Structure 1
Amino acid sequence: MSSSYSTPAYGVRSGALMGWRPLVESLGGEPRALLRDHGLSPSLLTDPDAIMPVARFAALLGSCARRLACPDFGLRMADGQGMAMLGALGKLIQDSAGPQDGLAVLQRHIALHNQGEYWSSQVTGDRLYVYRFELFDGDLDRRVYRELSVGACLRLIQELIGRDIRPLRVALCHRPLATQARYRRFFSAPVSFNEEQDVLVFDAAILRRRLVPASEALNRYLDGYIQGLIRETGDDLARRVRALISQTLPAGGHDLQHIAALLALHPRTLQRRLRQQGTGFNTLLTETRMGVARWHLSASTIPVTMLASLLGYANVGAFSRVFHKAHGCPPRQWRRQHALRGTAGNGVGAVL
């Protein structure tokens, strides 16, 4: 089967802009003008499920820090991020069995919704190491983007496991933008720079804690998010279901029962209404999985076996059979034919 799918650059879900607009306005900036200056549509501010190029997002953040005279822009923005930026996934992540499972869901979320980076955690002795890996290349100054990413990761972990959690130390692979005191105040830990790897180091004992229940405010926000999605999509139930499947893939919450519950519908009612639109839940699930698969196969180096797992397939064979049926060739062959120049074979992305 031939295909005319375009091959996008590394992309990131526009939910990553959470907190950006009010921060820019508080510093006297004009959000829409800044977005347009970097080739980004102002509509990204109202559609958290849209995809924007990671490189343009990173350039936007760097420009904000310079033009608004705010060297700690990334850290300030990270302070305004948390579970709410995950959309419908935030409704499911508190159902994880414990901190380790919750961290795994967060890592899968990043791998599926930001092609430009991934995170990996491991326990060595009595220490938990949470590593950040960056996949996109170029001469762009990404320090503000990196500080937002590391800072937001810490805030997510704190919201998931406990606000009192503090890293034992933090390592960043770039030179500092702000004062040492500012980094110490944000992370509440010693911070070193020009390191080989971005990493947050914790006492592994945090993995024995219970997950923090979602606050009433977070539940209200997430419920409001889903209601907003319903309003925006109107009668297009299929579009609504696709969006929720895409968001909940990292938690394995993309089955009929979970999606119906998020929409406050009985599973049979959801199926009946989808049939009235000429489709079905399994069809939408497969289409959504294949869309995510094409996105990663064309622009990232994520191994096919890992991608199969992230998409919720029991094994790589099951994923390959579905992909072959939809595209006329196995995923590895499709990648060779559609990979963006400079992304294949760079040796990055083999660990999660």
Structure 2
Amino acid sequence: MREPTTLSSWTGALCRQLDSLGLDSQALCRTAGVQLPSAAQAPCRLPLSATSRLWTLAVQHSDNPALGLDTSRFVWPTTFHALGLAIVASDNLLHVFQRITRYYQVVTDALAPTLQADGDSYLLSLRQPSDSAAPHPAAVDAFLAIYVRTCRQRLGRDYAPQAVLLRRLAPSDPSPWHNTFRAPVQFAASVDGLRFARADLLRPLADGHPQLAAHNEALLERELALLQRPWSQRVEAQISQHLAAGEPSAERIAERLCVSLRSLQRHLHDEQRSFEQLLASIRQRLACEHLTDPRLSISEVAYLLGFADSSSFSRAFRRWLGCSPSQWRARHAS
């Protein structure tokens, strides 16, 4: 089964909420196996299995099954990176939810939102991909509450959707859900989602900024393209980019790709590749390219490939092609 991932900054919002309740979010993260990056590190992507364990612990330790409904108060516009900024700059709510459904994978691939017109309303559905586990119900609550909070920030505090659909079974006390959404809530539904009045989604927003939204959409398109490439290609691109700074470690490349080392190793294993294979393959290819340039010395080629010295490069080259770099260069000299 495929392991979905979630942007670490989204889990960071949950941690801020736990801290505000007097709970030790760092201890709960360690127990759940969640490794959040430090403030100085780039955000990463966390496996759904780990974040679901954190949600379970959060609900247990807070003794609040409705915990996810309040997580939206700890979400910042930058929590969802360029998607959050594109949402803030959208000129109507229809564009907000169209952007969410197009770029959701930038935040998480654990849920696949769809937006369908249905007469005088729109239905936003959060569907679980068939090849992955379901997110924790509290996480689903949090996403839907964030969407409604976004509507209220743009249309006014009294805004309410037409209806709320939740796959979770009805809790013993449903009042927190009714109080949060201020709309009819259907539990044990076939899908998680929100129903909106068509007129509300089409209402122009005075604070929209189409140029800013378009700028962030361009960033999102690039990010989406990267996310949809095979993992081996993503790793190869990062290795090529960082070789001249020294031999890149798997840990460093994992950090650049916003995943944990364990997740990166698992993704490569699924593609029947390893980091060591990719590193050697790229070095061999680039070595042959560089050696055809007579302006580069053997030492300079070794440096460009991230080797500590020319001797290390020569030994590796012999393993690859059975001869020294200078011999290979002499044979292929034009």
TM range (shorter): 0.5 to 0.7
SS in structure 1 at match of 2:43: coil
Find the counterpart in structure 1 of residue 225 from structure 2.
289
Task: Work out the CA distance in 1 between the residues paired with 2:198 and 2:25.
Answer: 40
User: Taking structure 1 as reference, are residues 77 and 99 closer, same or farther at Cα in structure 2, changes over 3 Å only?
Assistant: closer
Find the counterpart in structure 2 of residue 242 from structure 1.
none
Q: Match for 1:207: what amino acid?
A: L
SS in structure 1 at match of 2:207: coil
Find the counterpart in structure 2 of residue 50 from structure 1.
44
Is residue 75–residue 151 contact of structure 1 (8 Å, CA) maintained in 2?
yes
- Deviation sequence 1:49-105 (CA, Å, 0-9, x none): 311112211221121111221221111113333634222343344444533222211
Q: Match for 2:26: what amino acid?
A: R
Task: Work out the CA distance in 2 between the residues paired with 1:106 and 1:292.
Answer: 17
The higher relative CO (CA closer than 8 Å, separation ≥ 6) is in: 1
Find the counterpart in structure 2 of residue 252 from structure 1.
218
Find the counterpart in structure 2 of residue 60 from structure 1.
54
Pairing partner for 2:97 from 98, 103, 110: 103
Task: Work out the CA distance in 2 between the residues paired with 1:12 and 1:195.
Answer: 24
Task: Work out the CA distance in 1 between the residues paired with 2:188 and 2:7.
Answer: 28
- Deviation sequence 1:240-291 (CA, Å, 0-9, x none): xxxxxxx999723469xxxxxxxxxxxxxxxxxxxxxxxxxxxxx6x98345
In structure 2, runs of 5+ residues without a counterpart are: 235-267, 273-334
Task: Work out the CA distance in 2 between the residues paired with 1:191 and 1:46.
Answer: 41
What is the aligned length? 235
Find the counterpart in structure 2 of residue 40 from structure 1.
34
Find the counterpart in structure 2 of residue 338 from structure 1.
271
Task: Work out the CA distance in 2 between the residues paired with 1:101 and 1:249.
Answer: 14
User: Taking structure 1 as reference, are residues 44 and 108 closer, same or farther at Cα in structure 2, changes over 3 Å only?
Assistant: farther
Is residue 122–residue 195 contact of structure 2 (8 Å, CA) maintained in 1?
yes
CA RMSD of aligned residues (A): 3.7
Find the counterpart in structure 2 of residue 16 from structure 1.
10
User: Taking structure 1 as reference, are residues 289 and 213 closer, same or farther at Cα in structure 2, changes over 3 Å only?
Assistant: same
Is residue 16–residue 74 contact of structure 2 (8 Å, CA) maintained in 1?
no
- Return the index of the structure with the highest Cα Rg: 2
TM-score by length of 1: 0.57
User: Taking structure 1 as reference, are residues 70 and 100 closer, same or farther at Cα in structure 2, changes over 3 Å only?
Assistant: same
- Deviation sequence 1:224-247 (CA, Å, 0-9, x none): xxxxxxxxxxxxxxxxxxxxxxx9
- How far off is 1:122 after superposition? 1.4
Task: Work out the CA distance in 2 between the residues paired with 1:106 and 1:154.
Answer: 13
Tell me, yes or no, if structure 1 residue 116 matches structure 2 residue 110.
yes
User: Taking structure 1 as reference, are residues 94 and 186 closer, same or farther at Cα in structure 2, changes over 3 Å only?
Assistant: closer
Task: Work out the CA distance in 2 between the residues paired with 1:22 and 1:100.
Answer: 30
Q: Match for 1:293: what amino acid?
A: R
- Deviation sequence 1:166-189 (CA, Å, 0-9, x none): 111111011134622111100011
Is residue 175–residue 194 contact of structure 1 (8 Å, CA) maintained in 2?
yes
Task: Work out the CA distance in 2 between the residues paired with 1:210 and 1:146.
Answer: 28
Tell me, yes or no, if structure 1 residue 125 matches structure 2 residue 119.
yes
Is residue 121–residue 198 contact of structure 2 (8 Å, CA) maintained in 1?
yes
Pairing partner for 2:175 from 156, 176, 181: 181
- Deviation sequence 1:274-332 (CA, Å, 0-9, x none): xxxxxxxxxxx6x983454226x99xxxxxxxxxxxxxxxxxxxxxxxxxxxxxxxxxx
In structure 1, runs of 5+ residues without a counterpart are: 1-6, 216-246, 256-284, 299-334, 340-352
- Deviation sequence 1:133-162 (CA, Å, 0-9, x none): 122644x78221221122222223433554
